[in-house]
Amino acid sequence: MKNIHFGTAGEYELKVSIIPHEPVSGSVHFHIEPTSSSTTEAIEKAIITVVIRQGEDAFQSRAVNSPSSPTIYDANLTFETSGEWEVEIKISTKLNIEDKINFKLSILDSGSATSNAAGIFFLFVFSVLITGSVFLYVRYGRKSKNKIISEE
């Protein structure tokens, strides 16, 4: 997990990490750890929303914690294109009171190397299957049968 931002939103400090280490267009997992600025105590009951924006496009996801990790909030978002995105994280522990932080995140193009590698791998598997099938057919396939014609 790569730490991408540490900031203060009102009375909270937010540590934000992501997977993958180098964010590329596609799915990105956000890992948020909120603490109290004054006591440095972890926050277990908060409503956290992650909003991403690029131009007119905006997407949001609620970050959720789990009973096994009540101080860690996770959200998944999909970056449709590469480029500079604005990330906004909103946190609220009290009704109608919301604090937020904003920062920029550079998203790389997923590149064609991945799709080329997948295509080459597919062709390799396909050629092995075809070659193996032809080999088995030639070796064990139809054998010529000698016809015996009986005269009556």
pLDDT of residue 144: 60
pLDDT of residue 139: 85
Average per-residue pLDDT in the chain? 89
Q: How confident is the model at residue 1 (pLDDT cuts 50, 70, 90)?
A: confident
Rounded to a whole number of angstroms, the distance between the first and last alpha carbons of the chain is 86
For residue range 94-141, list pLDDT tens digits in order.
888 999 999 999 999 876 545 577 788 889 999 999 999 998 888 887
DSSP 8-state class, residue 132: H
pTM, full prediction: 0.70
Spatial contact of 63 and 75, defined as CB atoms under 8 Å apart: yes
Which of 111, 114, 105, 115 minimizes the C-alpha distance to 23?
105
